[in-house]
Amino acid sequence: MAELEQKEVGKKGNKKGRKKMSIRVDLTPMVDLGFLLVTFFMLTTTFSKPQTMEINLPVKPKERLKEEEQNALKASKAFNIIIGANNKLYWYVGLSNEPIEGPAETDFSVDGIRKVLQNKNNNIKEMVVLIKPTNDANYKNVVDILDEMNISDIKRYALVDITPEDLKLIMNK
């Protein structure tokens, strides 16, 4: 516990007057209490848990043929995003050899790709988004598009290699 000590300070000469008392508070037990509180809060605090992204890995080659036949993608359900250099973004609906809609250029803003993704997700049932980064694309842009997939609540998307037909589409644009 804290302790109060009182000492009488010496008198000056023969003067009559009050006695001066000095007060000293021992705070050593308070240091122990501080360490106990720090230890308590360190042990009871829950730290933020890291968020992970679920990734489906490619299947073995023998099983791949069967799955490719089963998962043949319809052109009307394919939504393609091409990530280019200098933060440029292109999108089109359909397959690269026969686009149904597009290609159109957009950006990473809320009124850009997010609005397009949400609109197409509402209009196209079971839409599959194919994300195709070019060789000049930034890693940050790929991560931004993956974040947009989560924000737009798109369940089916894949990162695929860009084809020469896709490059011709954006070169003509």
Comparison of pLDDT for 24 and 165, the residue scoring more: 165
In degrees and rounded to multiples of 5, residue 74 shows phi and psi of: -75, 145
What is residue 37's predicted lDDT score, i.e. its pLDDT? 94
CA 28 to chain CA mean position, Å: 46
What is residue 126's predicted lDDT score, i.e. its pLDDT? 82
In degrees and rounded to multiples of 5, residue 97 shows phi and psi of: -80, -20
Express as a percent the part of the chain with pLDDT over 90: 14
- Checking 162-169 for CB contacts under 8 A at 24+ apart, the result is 162/82, 162/132, 162/133, 162/134, 163/96, 163/132, 165/96, 165/97, 166/80, 166/82, 166/96, 166/132, 167/134, 169/82, 169/90, 169/92, 169/96, 169/99, 169/103
User: 18 vs 11, 12, 21, CA distance in Å?
Assistant: 9, 11, 9
pLDDT exceeds cutoff 50 at 141? yes
pLDDT in tens, 53-103: 677 666 666 655 554 554 556 777 888 999 988 888 999 888 776 777 778
Determine which of 25-29, 79-83, 137-141, 142-146 has the lowest per-residue pLDDT on average. 25-29
Residue 132 binned pLDDT confidence (cut-offs 50, 70, 90): very high
Q: Kindly report the CATH number that applies to the domain delimited by 74-172.
A: 3.30.420.270
Q: 């842009």: which residue's tokens?
A: 141
Residue 131 binned pLDDT confidence (cut-offs 50, 70, 90): very high
pLDDT exceeds cutoff 70 at 125? yes
Contact 80, 101 (CB under 8 A): no
d(CA 4, CA 129): 75
